[in-house]
Structure formats: structure tokens, C-alpha cells
Homo-oligomer: A and B are copies of this chain.
Amino acid sequence: VDRIAIVVDAMGGDHAPSAIVEGAVQAARELQGLEVILAGPEAVVAAEVARHDVASLPLRVVDAPDVVAMDDSPVEALRRKKKSALHVGAGMVKEGLAAGLISAGNTGAVMAIYKVVVGTLPEVDRPALAACVPTPKGTTVLLDVGANVSVRGSHLQQFAVMGHFYSQLVLGVAAPRVGILSVGEEEGKGSDLTREVYDALKGGQLNFVGNVEGRDIFNGNADVIVTDGFTGNVALKVSESVVEAVTGALAKEAAAAGEPGKALMGLFAKAMRKFDYAEYGGAPMLGAKGCCIVCHGRSGSRAIKNGIRAALEFAKGKAGERIEQELLRMKAGKGPQAS
């Protein structure tokens, strides 16, 4: 069988290496057509792997002795830790030995190293980090959430195409509804930038639904929402902090209620699973060559498994090639095409 190889940074994230290795083992066991490559200091990773029964699993370890810390600057990690899992993994993607890399490590370092080692698609001006947001209707792809603090209209148009294909090929949405994040739904509302992009997308062939507002990120009124990395980053962090604040307030109330309160927190935790990033397979860096997925720093084994699954779907769907073709069409003045 031909298997698609995905490299996993065994040392990235708060619960590395144990949760990462566990998730990788689960992925190798459950997903079809996959080979998992765990990158990290060989002895450390091998010891973690030995805790699982991996006898017949398509899983191996490659040595990457340097470890990138969460507080290393991206530049430092890039220049001084050339034998990190990120460098080794990105190198394998570059050489065609693997289809993608996933990491729950330092986001800035992952993106910087991947961009330098593997590079971006020829037609992409700026890769974008895409967050997969849970909604009552499915999953909304919000991009950019932090790769590009300031962007031009042409970048946002590319983000729309990239988000379209991620939603379609990885999340399985047939005709993703694409919106622009703005401050009012009507055409003409928003900034000079959003108006420019509105006009461009209106004439294209994506399933464009116009302006959407902050409240639409979590209600599922669009499958793909494009914005600059500044606004997207703020929106994402606001949402995390609201969930924390609500949870904190409820926990306080529950603690005051004694035993019955404890039982109720269990029910609450169940409801909150819907908002658990672990379900959503991490944030892909769209527009990069190959496939690079950044998982949440707090990722447990389930998040890692789902991140690997997303990378596998991305590679199977040839999402990178589809994005590249579409951007070439746009460049030729043909406008975005839906499928």
C-alpha cells in the first residue's frame, strides 16, 4: 500500500512528548493510508513509543536532538536549533519524504521554520493561519488569525480561495459560504479594505455571502471568514477568554452550591466539549507548500490525532495543488472558481 507520511513534532506542546506520542499512535492505528513519523530526540521519543503496542503499526521515529522551547523567539529557533523536530520535519516535507508536518509547539517558530525550509506556493503572496471554529452548524474556518498583521485586498482574496478549499477538501463542505469580516452586513459597510475585497469577491465564482459580523464567527452563518491577521487574532483570543470567564463564573457559583454544584459542573463540561479545540484538528498554515498544521499548545492525544487526520485529508485532497491552480486562474483574470 502507498501510505501518506505525516511528520509529528513529538516535543511540541504542554503535554509533550507523552500526549503527542499517544495521539500519533492512535492515528497510526485508526487512520487508513497513513504513515506517522515522530520527530524528536530519539531516545526520549523511543522510550515514549515503547509504552504502546506499536508492533505492526506504520509508525517510526526520526532523530531530531534539538528542542524548541515555547519561549524561544522564532528567529532563534530558526537559526540556532537546526536539528529540531521542526527543522527535520520540514526538511522531509521539502524533500518529498513526507506530505505534511504537525506541531503543538511555539506557533511563531513552527511557521517561521516551515516557511523558510519548505516555502510557500508560487502564487501565494502570504500564507495565512486558519482557525477552525466550532459552531452549532459545523465548523467555520477563520483566516488569518495571526500570520499577517497587515494585509492588502489581494491577500484577502487569496485567503478566500485558500479557505474555500480547506473547507471543501478537509472539512467536507460541498459549497462553502465565504464571507468577509466587517462591521455591518450591508454592502458598503466596513473599511476601505473590506469594501475592495467585497467588490472583487462579488464578481467571482466562490459562494460569496458578503459581509459578516463578529457575531457570525460562532453562529455558523458562514463556512469561511476572511480577515486580516490582527483582527482575526483578537477575535480568536477574545472568544477563548470569554469561554474562560464564563466557566470561571459558573465554577464559582457551583462551588458555593456544594455537592449538587459538582454534579452540575460535569454536565457543563459535557456541553463545553463542543467548544473543545481538540475536535478540530488544529490551525493549518494555508498557502504553504505541502501541509503544515499548528495545534493548540494545550493539545492532548485526541487533538493530535485529529491534527494528523486533518493533515492526511489535506494531502489526500491535494488541497495545495487546488489552491495553486485556482490562484493561477485568478491571476489570468478568470476570477475565483468554486470547484
Q: Give, as a whole number of angstroms, the nearest-CB distance from A142 to chain B.
A: 10
Question: Are the CB atoms of B215 and A240 closer together than 8 Å?
Answer: yes
A214-B235 Cα distance, complex, nearest whole Å: 7
- A216 CB contacts on chain B under 8 angstroms: 241
A190-B230, A215-B240, A234-B235 are contacts. A272–B246 as well, Cβ < 8 Å? yes
Question: Are the CB atoms of B231 and A234 closer together than 8 Å?
Answer: yes
Number of A residues near B (Cβ < 8 Å) is 53
Question: Are the CB atoms of B260 and A264 closer together than 8 Å?
Answer: yes
Q: Give, as a whole number of angstroms, the nearest-CB distance from A329 to chain B.
A: 31
Per-position 1/0 for A215-247, Cβ under 8 A of B: 111110000000101110111111111111110
Q: Give, as a whole number of angstroms, the nearest-CB distance from A242 to chain B.
A: 4
- A236 CB contacts on chain B under 8 angstroms: 214
Given B191, B217, B229, B245, which contacts A275 in the complex, CB threshold below 8 Å? B245
* Interface residues in A145-193 (C-beta closer than 8 Å to B): 146, 149-150, 181, 183, 190-192
Q: Give, as a whole number of angstroms, the nearest-CB distance from A209 to chain B.
A: 17
Number of copies: 2
Question: Are the CB atoms of B244 and A271 closer together than 8 Å?
Answer: no
Question: Are the CB atoms of B183 and A146 closer together than 8 Å?
Answer: yes
A149-B243 Cα distance, complex, nearest whole Å: 27
- A217 CB contacts on chain B under 8 angstroms: 238, 241
A249-B274, A272-B249 are contacts. A239–B242 as well, Cβ < 8 Å? yes
* Interface residues in A255-273 (C-beta closer than 8 Å to B): 257, 260-261, 263-264, 267-268, 270-272
**A-B contacts besides A135-B245, A150-B191, A249-B274, 9 pairs, CB < 8 Å:** A183-B234, A214-B240, A215-B240, A231-B234, A242-B242, A245-B275, A246-B271, A250-B271, A263-B264
